[in-house]
Structure 1
Amino acid sequence: MTANKLSHYLPKLRFPEFREDPIWSAPLLAELYDFKRTNNLPRDELNYIAGTIKNIHYGDVHTKFKPLFRVENEHVPYINPGTRPNEFSDDAFCEEGDIVLADASEDLGDVGKAIEVVSLDGERVVAGTHTILATRRGSVPVVGFGGQVFQSAAVRAGIRNEAQGAKVYGISANRISAVPVPVPPTEAEQQKIADCLGALDDLIAAEGRKLEVLRQYRQGLMQQLFPQPGEAAPRLRFPEFVNEAWDSTTLGTLVSETERPIVMDDETEYALVTVKRRYGGVVARKVLKGKAISVKSQFLIEANDFLISKRQIVHNACGLVPAELAGSIVSNEYSVLTANNGCDIEFFNYFTQQPCVSDSFLQSSVGIVIEKMLFKLDWWLKLAFPFPSFAEQQRIAACLSWLDSRLALQAQKLEGLKRHKQGLLQQLFPSLEEEAR
Structure 2
Amino acid sequence: MKETENRGRVPRLRFPEFRESGEWETIPLSQLAKRSTQKNNRGELNSVLTNSAEFGVVDQRDYFDKDIATQGNLEGYFVIEKGDYVYNPRISKMAPVGPISKNNIATGVMSPLYTVFRFNNSHNDFFAYYFKTTGWHQYMRQTSSTGARHDRVAVTNGDFMAMPLPVTLLEEQQKIADCLSSLDNLITLEAQKLGALKTHKKGLMQQLFPAEGETVPRLRFPEFRDAWQIRKLEEIADFFKGKGISKADIDPQGQTPCIRYGEVPRCFKWVA
TM-score normalized by the length of structure 2: 0.69
1:98 pairs with one of 66, 84, 106: 84
CA apart distance, 1:148: 0.5
Q: State the Cα deviation string for residues 343-401 of structure 1 (Å, max 9, x = none).
A: xxxxxxxxxxxxxxxxxxxxxxxx8xxxx463324376324233222xxxxxxxxxxxx
Matched residue SS, 2:80: coil
Distance 2:256 2:78 in 1: 49
* Matching residue of 2:53: 62
Query: How far does the alpha carbon of each residue in 1:108-133 deviate from its partner, in whole angstroms, 9 at most, with x for none?
Result: 7544233322x33xx4433459x734
Structure 2 residue aligned with 1:114, among 73, 79, 100? 100
Q: 2:251 aligned with 1:384, yes or no?
A: no
Question: Could you tell me which amino acid in structure 1 is paired with residue 267 of structure 2?
Answer: A
Deviation at 1:246, TM superposition (A): 3.8
2:201 paired with 1:218: yes
Per the alignment, residue 428 of structure 1 pairs with none
From the CA coordinates, give the structure whose radius of gyration is larger.
Answer: 2
- 2:128 — aligned with what? 147
Paired letter, 2:257: L
Q: Hey, what's the Cα distance between the residues in 2 that align with 1:25 and 1:107? A: 30
Contact 1:9 1:24 in 2 (8 A): yes
Name the count of aligned residue pairs.
252
- Provide the C-alpha distance between the structure 2 equivalents of 1:242 and 1:257, rounded to a whole number of angstroms: 34
How big is the alpha-carbon RMSD for the aligned residues of Structure 1 and Structure 2?
A: 4.3
Matched, 1:209 2:192: yes
Residues 202 and 53 of structure 1: CA distance in aligned 2, closer, same or farther (over 3 Å):
farther
- The aligned runs of 1:155-166 (5 Å cut-off) are 155-159=136-140, 162=144, 164=146
Equivalent residues of 2:85, 2:101 under 8 A apart:
yes
Matches within 5 A, 1:390-429: none
Whether the aligned pair in 2 keeps the contact of 1:36 and 1:134 (CA below 8 Å) is: yes
Task: Report the equivalent of 2:114.
Answer: 132
Q: Which runs of 5+ in 1 are unaligned?
A: 40-51, 261-296, 298-309, 311-330, 334-366, 390-437
Confirm whether residue 187 of structure 1 aligns to residue 170 of structure 2: yes
Answer yes or no: is the 8 Å Cα contact 1:116–1:147 preserved in 2.
yes
Alpha-carbon offset, residue 242 of structure 1: 3.6
Distance 2:39 2:228 in 1: 62
CA distance in 2, matches of 1:116, 1:150: 9
Letter in 2 for 1:146: F
- Structure 2: 5+ residue stretches without partners: none
1:240 alignment partner, SS class: coil
1:53 is displaced (CA, Å) by 4.7
Aligned-partner Cα distance in 2 for 1:92–1:6:
42
Superposition pairs of residues 52-91 of structure 1, within 5 angstroms: 53-58=46-51, 61-63=52-54, 65=55, 80=67, 83-85=70-72, 87-88=74-75
In structure 1, what is the Cα distance between the partners aligned to 2:88 and 2:242? 50
Q: Which amino acid aligns with 2:232?
A: T
Contact 2:29 2:164 survives alignment (8 Å): yes
Alpha-carbon shift at residue 197 of structure 1 (Å): 1.0
| Deviation string, structure 1 residues 16-52 (Cα, Å, up to 9, x no partner) | 333343532223345434265899xxxxxxxxxxxx8
Counterpart secondary structure, 1:209 = helix
Q: 1:6 to 1:244 in 2, by over 3 A?
A: farther
Matches within 5 A, 1:44-55: 53-55=46-48
Q: Structure 1 residues 380 and 10, CA, compared in 2 at 3 Å: closer, same or farther?
A: farther
CA contact (8 A) 1:102 1:132 kept: yes
Distance 1:149 1:7, change over 3 A: farther
2:262 is aligned with 1:374: no
Take 2:39 and 2:233, find their aligned partners in 1: how far apart are those partners?
59
Partner in structure 2 of residue 34 of structure 1: 35
Q: Is the Cα–Cα contact under 8 Å of residues 239 and 261 in structure 2 kept in the other structure? A: no
Percent identity of paired positions between Structure 1 and Structure 2: 27
Aligned equivalent of 1:18: 18
